[in-house]
Amino acid sequence: MRDLVTEHRLNIVLALILLGGPLIAHFADEPFLVTLATRATILALAGVGLNIALGLGGLVSFGHAAFFGLGGYAVGILASHHQTYEPLMTWPFTVNGSNQMLVLWLVAVLVSGLAALVIGALSLRTSGVYFIMITLAFAQMLFFFAISWPAYGGEDGLSIYVRNAFPGVNTLRPLDFFLLCYGVLMLVLLAQWRMTGARFGIALQAVRQNEGRVAALGLSPYRIKLAAFVISGMVTGLAGALYVDLNRFVSPSMMSWHLSGEIMVFIILGGVARLFGPVVGACLFVLFEHVFGSFTEHWQFFLGAALLGVVLFARGGFIGLVAGRARHD
């Protein structure tokens, strides 16, 4: 049990660092750093989503940018309608835009969850490299659809000018918005932690390790994987919603395959299937981008080197390096 305790403690330390850093930056009057931490937090959430499918379920989705983008567009479209006072549709009933984050998040989660249900239902009939390719293909379809749909900016994207509202929070202040995103991330991590040890999480991890055995026990691996894929898509979609409010802008690049790859990189850097793996990975990613990006535009060279190092010498990622091998009961 010693390893587990270490990982648990490590997670608490990591959570405190992610909270403390921006607080210090705020009081040192460095709002840019707060925004940077917010970016890392939101990207981490996108990674947490993928980690449920990839880490716990072994489902290597190379199309999670689709859910990130769909969550983003859900927010962008509704917010732009709210700003122009034009209803989204008037028949058979009127749907107005909104600037309430709680409403927008709900829509983003539902839209990305529905998309994950459809994409997952089809993709999960395949496995291995075919699954990777078919998820990529679906994401690319949505990417090109977003580019070619002029109503919401097409290739140029869509600006929402003003950050949406959350009851009791001044979302325009960088620290407030950071704390909101941080709260969402922590809540999702808490839920994932509970889920991992509950019946669904156990069944999902069993499917990853020995699908045939699970089927022989009379549980349907397909249904378990599909549910995991939908949950995974929903979380990444929620991250997309936050990302649009961070940038006040949504564009097809949120759905590009580069982004799918980056989300996967967070997980590999931090530690596959580890609760805080994507959090560490996303923070390292943003850190690399900021530090090395300040003196060379080829900063991804250093990211690549780090990734290579992890894959060759530390298969468990950062968390595995510090806390050792994961334990299950």
Partner 1 sequence: MIEPVLELKGLTKSFGALKVTDGVDLDLRPGEIHALIGPNGAGKSSLIKLVAGELAANSGSIRFDGREINGLDQIARARLGLTRTFQVSSLIPEFSARGNVMLAAQARHRSVFGFVRQVSRDRELTGEAMQALERVGLADRAAVRVSELSHGEKRLLEIAMALAMRPRIFLMDEPMAGLGQEGSSRLIGFLDNLRREAPILLIEHDMDAVFQLADRISVLVAGRIIARGKADEIRTHPEVRAAYLGEDEA
| Main-chain phi, psi angles of 114, to 5 degrees | -65, -45
CB atoms within 10 A of CB 214: 18
CB of 327 to partner 1, least distance (A): 8
| CB closer to partner 1, 194 vs 315 | 194
d(CA 231, CA 52): 8
| 151 touching partner 1, by CB under 8 A | no
| 194 touching partner 1, by CB under 8 A | yes
- Tell me which of 9, 125, 258, 328 binds partner 1, using CB under 8 A: 328
| CB closer to partner 1, 16 vs 215 | 215
Residue 284 burial by Cβ neighbours in a 10 Å radius (0-12, 13-18, 19+):
buried
Residues 41, 178 contacting (CB under 8 angstroms): yes
CB of 289 to partner 1, least distance (A): 34
The set of residues, in sequence order, having a beta carbon less than 8 Å from that of 19 and lying 6+ positions away, is 182
| CB closer to partner 1, 224 vs 265 | 224
Q: How far are the Cα atoms of 31, 40, 41, 155, 277 from residue 274, in angstroms, in the given order? A: 30, 17, 16, 36, 5
| 19 touching partner 1, by CB under 8 A | no
Task: Of 13, 312, 52, give the one whose Cα is nearest residue 194.
Answer: 52
The count of residues interacting with partner 1 (CB under 8 A) is 29
| CB closer to partner 1, 194 vs 258 | 194
**Span near partner 1 by CB under 8 A; candidates 179-187, 195-203, 252-260, 312-320:** 195-203
Place of tokens 């109503």: 151
CB of 164 to partner 1, least distance (A): 29
**Span near partner 1 by CB under 8 A; candidates 190-198, 254-262, 281-289, 308-316:** 190-198
| CB closer to partner 1, 89 vs 198 | 198
Interface residues for partner 1 in 205-244 (CB under 8 A)?
205-206, 209-210, 212-220, 223-224, 227
CB of 311 to partner 1, least distance (A): 20
| Main-chain phi, psi angles of 254, to 5 degrees | -65, -20
**Span near partner 1 by CB under 8 A; candidates 107-115, 133-141, 178-186, 187-195:** 187-195
CB of 215 to partner 1, least distance (A): 5
| CB closer to partner 1, 193 vs 292 | 193
CB of 325 to partner 1, least distance (A): 9
The DSSP bridge partners found for residue 158 are 250
CB of 210 to partner 1, least distance (A): 5
CB of 229 to partner 1, least distance (A): 14
Q: How far are the Cα atoms of 204, 248, 271 from residue 280, in angstroms, in the given order? A: 23, 25, 8
| 117 touching partner 1, by CB under 8 A | no
| 329 touching partner 1, by CB under 8 A | yes
Maximum alpha-carbon separation in the chain: 60
Q: Which long-range contacts (CB under 8 A, 24 or more apart) does 27-33 make?
A: 31/174, 31/175
Task: Write the DSSP string, 250-291.
Answer: E-GGGGSHHHHHHHHHHHHHH-TT-TTHHHHHHHHHHHHHHH
Q: What is the DSSP letter of 156?
A: G
Binding site for partner 1 (CB under 8 A): 191, 194-195, 197-203, 205-206, 209-210, 212-220, 223-224, 227, 326, 328-329
